[in-house]
Chain A
Amino acid sequence: MRAHKDEEDIKRDAENMVEVQDLWFSYDKKKWVLKGVDMKLKRGDKTALVGSTGAGKTTLLLHLNGLLTPDKGKINISGTFLSYNKKALTEVRKRVGIVFQNPNDQIVAPIVFQDVALGPVNLGLTEGEVKERVKRALNEINIEDLRDRKAHELSEGEKKKVAIAGVLAMEPNILVLDEPTSGLDPESSEDLLNTIDSLCEQNDNMSVLAATHDVELAYEWADRVMVMREGEIVKSGEPYAVLGDEAVIKSSRLAMPRVLKIYKGIEMMASENPGMPPKSVEELLKVMRDNLWR
């Protein structure tokens, strides 16, 4: 019986780590903030959730580890439907780690290692295990040198990393980030995204979901993109297919990634198929060279 269930779990696991079905939610019971959200996250995928401000991204993310309880709908995490008793919630919070938008809200202890240890300590692990987890989490995102620093003395980018380490110390296999690059300068953003990428490479079971209104970031970084508009997911799929859909982008009050916009222009001018859509400026230049300056 037990073995049978495990098998089923694994089968489901292999496909979708997270499945949200027809999720409805309202803060004040007057206005719906989520209006029947359906979404799936695949194991090992990097997914970007894009939407303009107030679309309900944060609200959706908070549902994924039971911080908010839906008014209607179901959430399935690695094959188990979310229930809202204390024990089940602890379990799901070990699996789904959420990094909040503002690291200052998330970092509560004065010293970095203390804050990273918060999750493990509250899970009731032994001191040895806690130390081990802190070490591993700091190592995973390359901030061992920050271990003994005072948290409030760190730069904004370093704080973000510490916040992520605090979540990683819980050893989740689904990492959820709310606006990971907001408030960072371009270099720190790039650095943070590289860190997340190398994290995914180290651990191919890890799925990452990042909410953002930065379409450029979503286009370059993600394997899959979902567009959210007024509490609904209006389109999801390959970055090119989703972010290149002018109608969807316009109606969601977003802008098309620049690289893609230029590529579309070339597509119209060129007599034949200009080749694969470019991901970066370098690739775009190559398309231009091949098609326009021949």
Chain B
Amino acid sequence: MSLHHTLEGYTVSNKLVNIRTGDKIFFSIFTLIIAVYTQSLFLLLLILFTMSCITIWSGVRIKHYLELMTIPLTFLLPSILVLAFLRGSEPVLTFSIIGMHLAMMREGLELGALLMMRSMTGISCLFFLIMTTPIAEMLDTMKKFRMPEIVVELSFMVYKLIFVLIEEMESTKKAQDARLGYLRGNRIKSLSLLLSAMLVRSLEKAQNMERALEARCYAGKMPSLKLGIKNESENKVHIISPSLILMILFDACLLVMAVGGSVI
């Protein structure tokens, strides 16, 4: 099954689906802010661990979660490694490649580690949100918070089209693999063919989708999951809910730790 469907499947059938979207957004964003500002490695680890646990507990398969986590990791690792060679003065490891002397610095390594933890923690906060909240609810809430319509609509389109791109890339690559397109010497040519084929087909798909939406008078509104609830209990509008209080408490603890700085 494709990535898109796996994700969409989780968002509608996880244990946290009934928690209000606003609460989840608040929780995820606020925790993210703490993660961005804290200097404590311990706190970052704590947040990363907690967020991952909640997400996995809510119904995401560990295998999928780790797979998705490795995607940003592959982008992060090289740049973090470079940092280790550039910052600081106390070498921990020296070696030379083709006449170049390279030294890995202590300070750079530490900074890199902190940076990476911070990024991964931030990503775990966002993953929590994306994997437990259906896109329609997210858009709904964005609208409630008076986000401009164009931003909301754009978010939906980007969300849908990213997956169109990924799916097209996968199927084009499969077709090329089947014809041995990635053998030696063919790489660059195959890759550029892959990209252009992917773009053309994605454009076609996007156009089909646009027409299908237009045919049903789409005006930027996604039906919310609440439509599915048969007996109305969502009429009462509370600002405060138990889950929200719980989340605030959790974040407050984190905040105290971060500001207090007593834990390392």
A residues with CB within 8 A of B: 62, 65, 67, 90, 93-94, 97-98, 100, 102, 105-106, 108-111, 113-115, 117-119, 121-124, 127, 130-131, 134, 147-148, 150, 152-153, 166-167, 170
Whether A170 and B217, one on each chain, are in contact in the complex, defined by CB atoms closer than 8 angstroms, is: yes
Instruction: State whether the Cβ of B87 lies closer than 8 Å to any Cβ in chain A.
Output: no
Complexed CA–CA distance, A90 and B216 (Å): 9
Question: Please, what's the 1-or-0 string for B1-41, where 1 marks a CB less than 8 Å from any CB in chain A?
Answer: 10011001101110000000000000000000000000000
Dominant SS at the B interface?
helix
Docked complex: B196-247 residues within 8 A CB-CB of A: 205, 208-209, 211-225, 227-228
Q: Given A108-B160, A108-B209, A134-B227, are A122 and B219 also a contact pair (CB < 8 Å)?
A: yes
A258 → chain B closest CB, angstroms: 33
Q: Nearest chain-A residue to B207 (Cβ)?
A: A105
Whether B212 and A121, one on each chain, are in contact in the complex, defined by CB atoms closer than 8 angstroms, is: no
Whether B216 and A118, one on each chain, are in contact in the complex, defined by CB atoms closer than 8 angstroms, is: yes
Residues of B within 8 A of A90 (CB): 217
B161 → chain A closest CB, angstroms: 11
Dominant SS at the A interface?
helix
Instruction: State whether the Cβ of B181 lies closer than 8 Å to any Cβ in chain A.
Output: no
A279 → chain B closest CB, angstroms: 32
Identify A108's interface contact among B212, B219, B224, B225, CB under 8 A.
Answer: B212
Docked complex: B165-197 residues within 8 A CB-CB of A: none
A141 → chain B closest CB, angstroms: 16
Question: Please, what's the 1-or-0 string for B89-108, where 1 marks a CB less than 8 Å from any CB in chain A?
Answer: 00000000000000000000
Whether A105 and B212, one on each chain, are in contact in the complex, defined by CB atoms closer than 8 angstroms, is: yes
Identify B11's interface contact among A93, A110, A127, CB under 8 A.
Answer: A110
Residues of A within 8 A of B8 (CB): 110, 150, 152
B residues with CB within 8 A of A: 1, 4-5, 8-9, 11-13, 134-136, 160, 205, 208-209, 211-225, 227-228
Q: Given A111-B12, A148-B228, A150-B9, are A121 and B223 also a contact pair (CB < 8 Å)?
A: yes
Whether B9 and A152, one on each chain, are in contact in the complex, defined by CB atoms closer than 8 angstroms, is: yes
| 14 pairs from A and B in contact (CB 8 Å cutoff) | A65-B215, A110-B9, A110-B134, A111-B12, A113-B227, A114-B224, A114-B225, A122-B218, A122-B221, A150-B5, A150-B8, A152-B4, A153-B5, A153-B9
Whether B217 and A123, one on each chain, are in contact in the complex, defined by CB atoms closer than 8 angstroms, is: yes
Top 10 closest pairs, chain A to chain B, by CB: A117-B223, A105-B208, A119-B216, A152-B5, A106-B212, A110-B8, A121-B223, A122-B219, A114-B223, A122-B217
Residues of A within 8 A of B13 (CB): 150
Whether B136 and A93, one on each chain, are in contact in the complex, defined by CB atoms closer than 8 angstroms, is: no
Q: Given A114-B227, A152-B9, are A97 and B215 also a contact pair (CB < 8 Å)?
A: yes
Q: Given A118-B216, A118-B223, A170-B217, are A102 and B12 also a contact pair (CB < 8 Å)?
A: no
Q: Given A114-B136, A122-B217, A167-B216, are A100 and B211 also a contact pair (CB < 8 Å)?
A: yes
